[in-house]
Amino acid sequence: MEVLLILTYSAICICIFKVFKLPLNKWTVPTAVLGGIVLLGAIMVTMNYNHPYSEVARKYVPTTPIVPEVSGHVVDVPIKANHPLEPGEILFQIDAAPFVAKRDALRAQLSAAEEDLDRAQTLRKRGVGSERDVDRARSEMERLEGELEVASFHVEETTVRAPGHGYVTQLILHPGMRAVSLPLQPSMVFVHDQDARYVAFFWQNNVLRIEPGLEAEIAFDAIPGKVFTGKVEEVLPMMAEGQLKPSGTLITVNPYAETAGRVPVIISISDPRFEAYQLPGGAFGQAAVYSEHAHHVAIIRRMLLRMSSWMSFLFPFH
């Protein structure tokens, strides 16, 4: 952004020298250079503080890694990648035969245990059996009831269903593969059909001028030449650099590993033109926030953001 401002000033100086036919001598050139340093320095300081800019903005979409409750061989995957799904719709089916066999075996054992309990209670009433035999039979029956409940749950979980409205992307799972109940090895990724979040990451000193409700603009590399209006929805109170995890290592200063970190700011896009575009999750862009301070300088920030957006036609990264 600063490079664009310097190039713009340089172009203006060249035009002035050409139009007014000013000579290039020891007075005019240093004046143009020193004047540019003072003028651009004042503009950039005022603009960066009151109308902060972030060259790192991204579209985030909520996803859920699909991990089955049971492990087994996949026998059916009835869905197609990137097709909309309803809540509860079947994602894939695990071979239920082993789990059904275990459930049926437990049902048979439970029936036998119920008969044993009835027999023990009858013998106790006749004075032949003891209370201990009844308690033992009841305990065995209750244990089998619990195991049967778990086995029935496992049978149901062989059918893995969609957790909500959305779709599955990059579908790799096919019949014959093995799905495992391990959190670190999901079978697929479910993309929720919810409002995406547009997050821009600002330097920490910019937060002094950023608050919910302020006007914001965002430009995406995938949509060159377009700048969309919106507003600041939320300034997140936490950065990744401040996260603590339980461990056996005490906190210390590590100047080689620690970075200052940036503050995430959620921007909601209200521009009606944006609805015509379908941005993929993870789309990259740039954003600017405009405060009520030094509003006359905001026009320069708007111009620079649009110039940067037009550069996306020529350069994939800038």
Per-residue model confidence (pLDDT) at position 78: 97
- Domain shared by 154 and 74, yes or no: yes
- Domain shared by 188 and 210, yes or no: no
Residue type, 107: R
- Domain shared by 245 and 297, yes or no: yes
The CA distance from 66 to 94, in Å, is 13
Our count of domains for the chain comes to: 3
Report angle CA 7, 312, 282 to the nearest 5 degrees: 130
CA distances, 40 to each of 6, 10, 35, 189 (Å): 7, 11, 8, 48
CA–chain centroid gap for 316, Å, is 23
From 192, 216, 232, give the residue that closes a domain.
192
Domain of 80?
64-192
Q: pLDDT 10s digit of each residue in the chain, 318 long?
A: 667 777 787 888 888 878 877 788 877 878 888 877 887 788 788 898 999 999 999 999 999 999 999 999 999 999 999 999 999 999 999 999 999 999 999 999 999 999 899 998 888 888 887 888 889 999 999 989 999 999 999 999 999 999 999 999 999 999 999 999 998 899 999 999 888 899 999 999 888 899 999 999 999 999 999 999 999 999 999 988 888 888 887 877 765 556 788 999 999 999 999 999 989 999 999 999 999 998 889 999 999 999 989 988 876 655
CATH number for 84:
2.40.50.100
The CA distance from 186 to 67, in Å, is 5
- Domain shared by 37 and 144, yes or no: no
Task: Using the Cα atoms of residue 85, residue 86, residue 88 and residue 89 in order, give the sign of their dihedral.
Answer: negative
CA distances, 84 to each of 65, 158, 166, 196 (Å): 17, 22, 6, 16
Joined tokens for residue 19: 């139009």
- Domain shared by 188 and 213, yes or no: no
